[in-house]
Amino acid sequence: AQSVTQLDSHVSVSEGTPVLLRCNYSSSYSPSLFWYVQHPNKGLQLLLKYTSAATLVKGINGFEAEFKKSETSFHLTKPSAHMSDAAEYFCVVSDQPGGSYIPTFGRGTSLIVHP
Amino acid sequence: DGGITQSPKYLFRKEGQNVTLSCEQNLNHDAMYWYRQDPGQGLRLIYYSQIVNDFQKGDIAEGYSVSREKKESFPLTVTSAQKNPTAFYLCASSLGLAGGNEQFFGPGTRLTVL
């Protein structure tokens, strides 16, 4: 069975400082991993995804994530936070034998950016 | 423009009423999903559909029903059997249920029970 744990419910940073949102996953197979962003009262938008290619994945808006199989982690980073990055972020794992991949969402991390 | 639309944006329901939330996509995607979002709980899967005229229960299907008569449409009915329906509901679609397929989300419907 697959599962995903977002280690922080809230992360607070100052504008211009680095961002680190942590995600650990559990999977019995070769998973696909995703990060989505959600601004208040909006739908989710894909930031980036990992699907067994390069372990360092670059996404939109300067975000990137590194797949570390030995640590079962897929942490999201950004070198310099911007006020517009304030939002809810979801880590998602997807695997299933037989080809039917049903995504499992983490509980989300709220990113707060201070001026 | 391609995308997913949900309507209405806000919906109010009285106790004992059934209500139907609309979800339409013009992305030609085979798979569609309904999620419920409550504060601090992430997204929980209600139903999903891989193909027209077929759908499967997710983790919290009790009190909900769906249909998939057309590829582009996947309406969700919240029945009176759902005891705590106040939540934010999100519809999504993807090319199919295969690894690596990202989901595209609609803007959501906020349902409030009066």
pLDDT one-digit tens code per residue, A49-98: 998 778 899 999 999 999 999 999 999 999 999 999 999 999 999 876 55
Q: Rounded distance, CA A16 to CA A95, Å?
A: 36
Q: Is A2's pLDDT higher than 90? A: no
- Residues A39 and A32: beta-carbon distance below 8 Å: no
What share of chain B has pLDDT > 70, as a percent?
A: 97
Kindly list the residues from chain A whose CB atom is less than 8 angstroms away from the CB atom of residue B44. Answer: 105
Cis preceding linkage at A18, omega within 30: no
**Residue A52, min C-alpha distance to chain B (Å):** 9
Neighbours of A96 (CB within 10 A): 18
pLDDT at B71: 96
Cα distance from N-terminal residue to C-terminal residue, chain A = 41
What share of chain B has pLDDT > 90, as a percent?
A: 78
pLDDT one-digit tens code per residue, B59-90: 999 999 999 999 999 999 999 888 899 999 99
3-state DSSP assignment of residue A99 = helix
Q: Do B97 and A43 touch (CB under 8 A)?
A: no
Kindly list the residues from chain B whose CB atom is less than 8 angstroms away from the CB atom of residue A21. Answer: none
Token output for A49: 């995804």
Q: Among all residues of chain B, which has the CA nearest to that of A5?
A: B42
Q: Do B103 and A107 touch (CB under 8 A)?
A: no
Alpha helices in chain A (DSSP H): none
pLDDT one-digit tens code per residue, B4-25: 999 999 999 888 899 999 999 9
